[in-house]
A and B are shown apart, each in its own frame.
Chain A
Amino acid sequence: MSDTTTTWGGTEMAAAGAVSATFGEGNAFHWNLITDFRQMWSFTFFQHGFEAGTVVAVVAGVIGYFVVLRRSAFAGHALSHIGFAGAAGAVVLGLDPLWGLLVLCLGAGGVIGALGQRLRGRDTVIGIVLAFSLGLGALFLSLYHGNDANEAVSILFGEILGVSASDVLLTLAIGALALGLISLMFRPLLFASVDEDVAEARRVPVRLLSVAFMMTLALAVAVAVQVVGVLLIFALLVTPAAIAERVTRRPGRAIAVSVAVALVSTWLGLAISWYSSYPVSFFIVTIAFVLYLLVRLAPVIGGSRGARPAPEPVDVEPSPSIG
């Protein structure tokens, strides 16, 4: 994520420098957006950011549907934190942080998936492991050039404009693999997610799917960290899917809406950052959050029109205990 040095607005800017790797001081807004976009596109780091961001948004949007359906948001959060230690370790070794992310995320994903049910309700254990991982990452980063705050910030909060051409290709390969895996296991994963007992009785390999899904989630987390960072991973992995499930109850449409929200957040975030000096990830996260607020508030503001049907009360009646 750190091999481009770019001239921007007359000032030399190291794209690796996290905070400075926004669009410098920001550019003036023109009503002719096409000209503005042409100008953005003339910078290779913008192109790379746009390409990687697009791949990540599609992958995160699709997998997010299952993350929300399976209630594994916390697992995704844990994976990203464990990945932080990997990314920081890779920096110390002089490797691409993406490789470090990938290795540790996959390892942790395998373990979490294999433990499966036994990990349910073990939030404290996961929390302890992820806190330790963050600490380990902090140590690695201090070993690297004393204490490079920029590198830390770019892993924690994302550095989409520091993505190199080779990172884009790697992101595309990982993203394609993740989407391929999800497509392959789509139906049995859906079955196991909503109705594990019946799925098991119908010979669906629920344990294998649990591991396979966590590994796929690990792939998605590793690439998404480039865009929004370890700490903001929810914005791409959970928020779009959470918005989608409030808009539609159809699985296919929910996935489409989730992808659309992730894409809009990423593209708009990138574009807005062109005009400002603030970090891209801030804009992506904010757009996703505002969209979430809108779908939550829409039924309230719109009254009964356009509101979701109110959930009916579930019958609860103690039956006389006999025999």
Chain B
Amino acid sequence: MTLAHAGPVVEARHLAAGYRNAPVWRDASFSFEAGECIAVLGPNGAGKSTLLRLLLGLLRPLAGTVRVFGEPPRRGSARIGYVPQARAFDAETAIRGVDLVALGVDGHRWGVPLPSARRRAARSRIDEAIEAVDATAYAGRGIGQVSGGERQRLLLAQALVGSPELLLLDEPLANLDVAKQSAMAELVARVARDRGITVVLVAHDLNPLRRVVDRVCYVAGGGVLIGSPEEVVTGPVLSRLYGAPVEVLIDSAGRRFVVGLEEEVVHPHGGADVGHDHHVGGH
């Protein structure tokens, strides 16, 4: 891994994010260190995806500063790999998994791909990325004909093929059954460890990620809180963040369950109810 600067991979100071005059969260100061695996948690609409869009340079901060690799984020950075929320493809879609992964190499280039030395070199990188996510068996099938978990792995391979140093994953565990959630979490952790990649992973549920995350970035109630799962996912801390009474139950296996959150949670700043899906963080 080559890091041009010695500091944290992501650094935010008094950062506010949102759309026009409606901040989703504000005054967030945090940093993600190289090689860390960070889980971004929080209710729907709290601004988890908004955080990723800021880091990708698709959204400007409303206030404060954010630095990625020591610089303001900019679109098209080859150092960042991104996997958005999964979308379904029609069964007939005439694109194979391997074609999807190949777009990660040269999808942004103009023109038709022609046979060349560069193309052959790319081919081996594509195969290598597909192998790294254990997708070789089904990469040749149509993208609409693989399962949700398989598609998620192919999208991960697409992000990896550009040799990123920072990986942003938006709900990679959504729509997977419990067994596949753990498998996906282990895979991300393994790949990131092998390649020294910093991972920021948006999730709904901490439990399948328990063994792989280093720290938790909790986005709720118009604020952002970062720390170890044991520090952050506790009743008193979350109650303060939400501005509403929240309880955290811990079972014998160490799994944490957040309870006491009704559908409607009053937004302390905007006054909007974050329990409702009002797309502040969506796209």
Residues of A within 8 A of B (CB): 65, 68-69, 183-188, 190-191, 194-195, 197-204, 242, 244-246, 248-251, 254, 308-309, 311-317, 319-323
Contact = CB atoms under 8 A, between A and B. Distances in A.
A187 B103 contact: yes
B94 A184 contact: no
B240 interface: no
A309 B145 contact: yes
Q: Which 3 A-B pairs have the closest CB atoms?
A: A203-B76, A191-B107, A317-B177
Interface in B210-267: 218, 233, 238, 256-258
A254 B100 CA distance: 15
Contact of A322 (B144, B174, B176, B207): B207
Given A201-B56, A203-B108, A323 B205 contact: yes
A315 B149 contact: yes
B75 A203 contact: yes
Given A187-B108, A197-B84, A322-B258, A316 B175 contact: yes
Contacts of A183: 111-112
Q: Which size bracket describes the interface of B in this complex?
A: 35 or more
B141 A249 contact: yes
B60 interface: no
Nearest to B146: A312
A197 B87 CA distance: 10
A236 to B, nearest CB: 18
A69 B93 CA distance: 7
Given A322-B207, A323-B205, A197 B146 contact: no
Interface of B: 41-43, 56-58, 75-76, 80, 82-85, 88-89, 91-96, 99-100, 103-104, 106-113, 141-150, 155, 158-159, 173-178, 180-181, 204-207, 218, 233, 238, 256-258, 283
Contacts of A308: 145
B100 A194 contact: yes
A19 to B, nearest CB: 37
Contacts of B109: 187-188
Contacts of A65: 94
Which of B95, B159, B173 has most A Cβ within 10 Å?
B95
Contacts of B88: 314
B218 to A, nearest CB: 7
B141 A319 contact: no
B175 A314 contact: yes
A312 B147 contact: yes
Contacts of B85: 197
B66 to A, nearest CB: 16
B148 A315 contact: yes
B107 A320 contact: no
A171 B102 CA distance: 34
Contacts of B176: 315, 317, 319
B94 A249 contact: yes
Contacts of B43: 323
B107 A323 contact: no
B88 to A, nearest CB: 7
A188 B181 CA distance: 32
B78 to A, nearest CB: 9
A154 B76 CA distance: 49
Given A69-B94, A319-B181, A322-B205, A195 B112 contact: no
B261 to A, nearest CB: 8
28 contacts: A69-B93, A186-B110, A187-B106, A187-B110, A187-B111, A190-B103, A194-B103, A195-B103, A197-B82, A200-B58, A201-B58, A201-B75, A203-B76, A245-B92, A246-B92, A250-B94, A250-B96, A311-B91, A315-B147, A315-B149, A315-B177, A316-B148, A316-B175, A319-B178, A320-B205, A321-B205, A323-B218, A323-B233
